[in-house]
């Protein structure tokens, strides 16, 4: 695996299962067992009822683009080799939003409400990043 020079996620004890799941290509999100709220990003407590009685569920990995931007130029950073790239907010089928990249298509083809599914980018031995690609129907 080639050297990865971009910033890496900071793992917390409560986000460890999420990152371990990504490594196995399982897209895990939390669900409160007391009030049934689906939760993303990983938290120690339910943001609605403050319960710590949270479970991990396997998400479908499918969602729709809520909003996005195409990054064409930026001051020199570790992400320069990726230009242009898409940063998107994705509504997951389970009812939570997450920010990620849309890959596997031309940035100009991305649009709001586009159906996407997760794909895992294995960047290091420890980390796989969940990114999204268009669902071709």
Residue 100 neighbours by CB distance under 10 Å:
20
Q: How far is the CB of 44 from Zn ion (least distance, A)?
A: 12
The conformational region for residue 9 under phi > 0 = left, psi -120 to 50 = alpha, else beta, is: beta
Q: How far is the CB of 48 from Zn ion (least distance, A)?
A: 5
Count of residues of this chain found to bind Zn ion when the rule CB under 5 A is applied? 8
Is position 77 an interface residue for Zn ion (rule: CB under 5 A)? Answer: no
Tell me the Cα Rg of the chain. Answer: 16
In the bound state with Zn ion, the residue whose beta carbon lies nearer, of 46 and 116, is: 46
Question: Which of residues 8, 44, 49, 112 is near Zn ion by CB under 5 A?
Answer: 49
Helix or strand or coil: residue 133?
A: strand
The CA–CA distances, whole Å, from 23 to 64, 82, 89 equal: 23, 22, 22
Location of structure tokens 């709220």: 37
In the bound state with Zn ion, the residue whose beta carbon lies nearer, of 31 and 131, is: 31
Is position 48 an interface residue for Zn ion (rule: CB under 5 A)? Answer: yes
Tokens of 32: 């409160």
Q: How far is the CB of 33 from Zn ion (least distance, A)?
A: 8
Binding mask 27-46 for Zn ion (x = CB under 5 A): -----x-xx-x--------x
Q: Residues in the site for Zn ion, rule: CB under 5 A?
A: 32, 34-35, 37, 46, 48-49, 51
């Amino acid at each position: 695996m080639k050297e990865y020079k971009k910033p890496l996620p900071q793992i917390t004890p409560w986000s460890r299962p999420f990152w371990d799941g990504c490594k196995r290509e399982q897209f895990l999100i939390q669900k409160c067992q007391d009030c049934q709220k689906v939760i993303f990003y990983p938290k120690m407590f339910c943001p609605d009822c403050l319960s710590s009685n949270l479970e991990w569920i396997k998400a479908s990995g499918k969602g729709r683009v809520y909003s996005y931007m195409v990054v064409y130029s930026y001051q020199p950073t570790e992400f320069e080799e990726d230009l242009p790239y898409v940063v998107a907010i994705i509504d997951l089928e389970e009812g939570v939003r997450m920010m990620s990249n849309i890959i596997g298509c031309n940035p100009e083809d991305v649009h709001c409400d586009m159906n996407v599914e997760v794909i895992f980018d294995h960047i290091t031995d420890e980390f796989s990043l969940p990114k999204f690609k268009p669902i071709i129907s």
